Amino acid sequence: MSIRLTKMAENREKLIAAARKAFAQQGYAAASMDNLTAEAGLTRGALYHNFGDKRGLLAAVVDQIDSEMADYAKSVGAKAGNAWQALLAEGAAYIEKALDPEVQRIVLLDGPAVLGDPSQWPSQNRCLQSTKATLEQLMANGIVKAVDPEAAAMLLNGAALNAALWLASSANPQAMLPKTLEAFNLLASGFLVKG
């Protein structure tokens, strides 16, 4: 990688890190682009060059955090006993991330308000494709019912995402978590082949 490209990548990462901190502490609307770029040691021109505008910067921050949430969910699922339990564990881990203040504010509150429907975000599409592949494997093994895997993945991911959105906007997310996870597992179990 050339020195110029390396410097551009470094500047991009500095801006994302500063924005992540500002958006988490102050919220998207209150975060000042002048303060954010000063924190990163860069100019507003660097922000506009890399992201177009404040909204573009938020999209990059949301993508980073949402991707981290998906990676975390995958790591939790990897510890489960089988592929079905892994899928449930991934969904539960994603939902539980709604308790994290940074995730709540940036991904689950400001993200949808500014960027629109989360199911259209690139990070959600990657998660959808992963869930679809897992469901196809589970269907091939006779563990879940033979339904359209894309539709099933959309419904399961949508349930986890909407559960996380619901928790983030509730007055007491911690108290809501157990019943949310119970309902998610009950909903997901409808896909199981009854033996």
Residue 44 located in a structural domain: yes
Query: What is the pLDDT, as a whole number, of residue 169?
Result: 92
Q: Are residues 99 and 178 in the same domain?
A: yes
Is 80 found in the same domain as 39?
no
Q: Does residue 76 share a domain with residue 158? A: yes
Give the pLDDT of residue 124: 81
CATH number of the domain to which 129 belongs? 1.10.357.10
Percent of the chain with pLDDT over 70: 99
Per the model's pLDDT, the better-predicted residue between 190 and 194 turns out to be 190
For 47-68, how does the pLDDT look when each residue is reduced to its tens digit (9 = 90+)? 999 999 999 999 999 999 988 9
Distance in angstroms (rounded) separating the CA atoms of residues 77 and 88? 8
Q: Which residue has the tokens 């921050």?
A: 61
Residue 38 belongs to domain spanning: 1-52
Domain for residue 116, yes or no?
yes
Going by C-alpha positions, the residue among 144, 122, 123, 126 that lies closest to residue 135 is: 144
Is the separation of the CB atoms in 73 and 54 below 8 Å?
no
Based on the domain organization, do 26 and 88 belong to the same domain?
no
How far is residue 1's CA from residue 166's CA, in Å, rounded to a whole number? 43
| 38 and 121 housed in the same domain | no
C-beta separation of 57 from 14 below 8 A: no
Average pLDDT, the chain: 93
**For residue range 100-129, what is the model confidence (pLDDT) as tens digits?**
999 999 999 999 999 999 888 888 888 889
Q: Is 50 left (phi over 0), alpha (psi -120 to 50) or beta?
A: alpha
Identify the bridge partners of residue 144 per DSSP, sorted by sequence position: 192
Q: Are residues 88 and 184 in the same domain?
A: yes
User: Does 57 map to a domain?
Assistant: no
pTM over 0.85: yes
Q: Are 47 and 66 contained in the same domain?
A: no
Q: Is residue 106 a contact partner of residue 61, using CB atoms and an 8 Å limit?
A: yes
Whether residues 91 and 15 fall in one domain = no
Q: What is the CATH number of the domain that holds 27?
A: 1.10.10
pLDDT at 121: 84
Same domain, 107 and 156: yes
Average pLDDT over residues 145-171: 94
CA–CA dist 163, 161 (Å, integer): 5
80 and 129 part of one domain: yes
Q: Look at residue 186 and tell me if it is in a domain.
A: yes
Our count of domains for the chain comes to 2
| Residue 48 shares a structural domain with residue 78 | no
CA distance 97 to 103: 7
CA 51/CA 60 separation, integer angstroms: 8
- CA dihedral sign, ordered 24, 25, 29, 32: negative
